[in-house]
Structure 1
């Protein structure tokens, strides 16, 4: 082991200590309640923060804390130059996390919106901002303080002095309170309160921003259904030790034959933290980039294959059939999630393929088309009598009312904490322009 590798853990602890001190100091600075920063996991442009960000930027939404002519100044923050370039090319403001302008945006922002924790944006410089956790999915599996197995259990439940030191420094972001945590129903809100404990100062119930565009696209696809091939999406979740595609789909020829028999195409979308590769090119099987927005894909497919991913709940909301494929259920329970929010056997019922042979048979016969997600569980996740097929149009996307209510609640918190922004000149007094990058 090199000296550099040996000293790396101490360096991470020191970095965490510095971040803790800086975070406490910047919490004393004045912040602008009309200036919001956004970020997401893995420096990618994904999840609920992306769609709330686009809603605010594209519509010029005013929170009405300073008057109807003062829209939220929203900026995306990322450590990835490619992500920043992509957002700016689309005409929306984005900054690099470690750039001077990016740091300034975060320091002045009264609101920080993220998908996992504040490190999605900037752990040290968000001290004092209203923290809004638009959690990236509905928790079927154990999350946060509910985790009892796997490496994360020692983060949330440190057992030794070393564990406690690491939790307080290396994993400082996991200990930061969230002023707002988003949940989809009363039952999910209860799970979030137990998972976050005191780190959830308030849990608000609403529709995730990511599902508005997916619902609109799904309705268009149903309306314009033609004679082309059906499209299935296989979206496995993250698991301890990583996902192995060749274990889940061991015989590509057998799968291709099943797809050909039912005139179906298969898209495979790995988890954001997984890197997948097909052993060879295939005419009927395609990989989707792991950092592609899952919500954008759901509107363009006819059914979903998954295991323990919360994509099942999103698919249920927009009326897509769901095939459950828990090929490694025992190992997953042992290493990744000791329990589930719902009884898994009741959840999957007759919509399950427990082996690769069963999966290919379901695909070949087209039996997946009738595998409707259980309405009783769908309504527990999304609220009673969920409207799956109605609502969105081009003029009134389904997400708009939910987004407006979410913005209103965040605005009230930001205004209460930071008050009206009274400095002269441009909102925030930023020397840089409101658009552009870095």
Structure 2
């Protein structure tokens, strides 16, 4: 059989990456694996990985000849042949509104219509949790199967080698033993896209962080892929720009605390059990004007909802206090949004979408 993968505009990332790695490791799966790749990210793909350039006739031909298509975002138009299964994994638990629930995202009805055409080809849409499956189905108007499997990309966070991987990544990033690594991963904003010529500002200033906490903490700056160059060229002691790091799971494991805003990162990071600070400096604007939410942030947040840089820095200086105050809320958050995650999501998903002839007996018994 032929499996074609696509992630984030031609990168080697996310749920498709996790499913590819697991499918390759399962010896009884006899398949040709092919990625739609952007040449700019060729270095992220493992040596020997078969690729075709994304957004080319070769890519369309690959999709039209596939037995299984695995994607985490919308694909360009292609003719789906009978017998092909299109698995849409999506790329995160939606806190912020998406697709038809966020019409301000789209410059024209024509663009939205083209994305809706892609939805009509989907056979399976993954649900990371029961709570997330509801808005995902509704936003896309998807009437097909939405199995709640957990996310394959999160299996690595629960893998037996997670501690060893953490040590290896921290060493590679130059993080000394005993130093607190703060992962700062804000989402993008529809009115601050650098690639659209719009302004971008970083609410938590790296210089202020370094001045206040730089002796005992290091800031790992992970910008959204739509604004990756916004801080490039800045050299601040104790701040490491990890925006180009290929696998965010490395950063989740290496970090000791997450600072984010409305990103789906908080739902994945919660699997680590480490503190989460929500820096909602523009909460009212983002909620009421820009995008909107599916869940009340104050109700579900697994940590403090903070509105100023000083509040964030104060919380980072007292992480023990954060753990003590928000332990119960953190547990409730995990129960609601992480209940399907057990480190075996990739096997569950492959068992769902692969013909029974190529499913390993061991994994089928566990499903």
TM-score class, shorter: 0.7 to 0.9
Q: 1-side partners of 2:144 and 2:218: how far apart? A: 45
1:194 alignment partner, one of 114, 138, 143: 138
The answer for unaligned runs of 5 or more in structure 1 is 1-33, 63-70, 156-162, 388-397, 416-438
Alignment of 1:125-274 (within 5 A): 125-126=79-80, 128=82, 129-147=84-102, 150-152=104-106, 163=109, 165-169=110-114, 171=115, 173=117, 175-197=119-141, 199-216=142-159, 218-220=162-164, 227-242=177-192, 246-250=201-205, 252-261=206-215, 263-274=216-227
The answer for unaligned runs of 5 or more in structure 2 is 171-175, 194-198, 359-367
Alignment of 1:99-110 (within 5 A): 102-110=59-67
Q: Which has the larger radius of gyration?
A: 1
- Residue-by-residue CA offset, 1:387-412 (whole Å, 9 max, x unaligned): 7xxxxxxxxxx23xx22221121125
Contact 1:258 1:361 in 2 (8 A): no
Question: Per the alignment, do residues 174 and 81 of structure 1 end up closer, same or farther by CA in structure 2, a change over 3 Å counting?
Answer: same
Question: Per the alignment, do residues 108 and 175 of structure 1 end up closer, same or farther by CA in structure 2, a change over 3 Å counting?
Answer: closer
Contact 2:224 2:243 in 1 (8 A): no
| Paired residue total | 341
Three-state SS of the structure 2 residue aligned to 1:289 is coil
Residue in 2 aligned with 1:74?
Answer: 33
Residue in 2 aligned with 1:341?
Answer: 294
Contact 1:232 1:264 in 2 (8 A): yes
Q: 2-side partners of 1:330 and 1:100: how far apart? A: 44
Question: Per the alignment, do residues 86 and 41 of structure 1 end up closer, same or farther by CA in structure 2, a change over 3 Å counting?
Answer: closer
Pair 1:50 & 2:10 matched = no
2:258 alignment partner, one of 290, 296, 304: 304
Pair 1:90 & 2:47 matched = yes
- Residue-by-residue CA offset, 1:145-193 (whole Å, 9 max, x unaligned): 3325x233x76xxxxxxx3x45435x45555342100002223222222
- Residue-by-residue CA offset, 1:202-225 (whole Å, 9 max, x unaligned): 111112111112333644478999
1:248 CA displacement: 0.5
TM-align CA RMSD:
3.1
2:333 alignment partner, one of 372, 377, 383: 377
TM-score in terms of structure 2 length: 0.81
1:42 CA displacement: 2.3
Question: Per the alignment, do residues 223 and 272 of structure 1 end up closer, same or farther by CA in structure 2, a change over 3 Å counting?
Answer: closer
Three-state SS of the structure 2 residue aligned to 1:204 is coil
Three-state SS of the structure 1 residue aligned to 2:219 is strand
Indicate the structure whose relative CO is greater, using CA pairs within 8 Å and at least 6 residues apart: 1
Q: 2-side partners of 1:414 and 1:326: how far apart? A: 49
Contact 1:84 1:94 in 2 (8 A): no
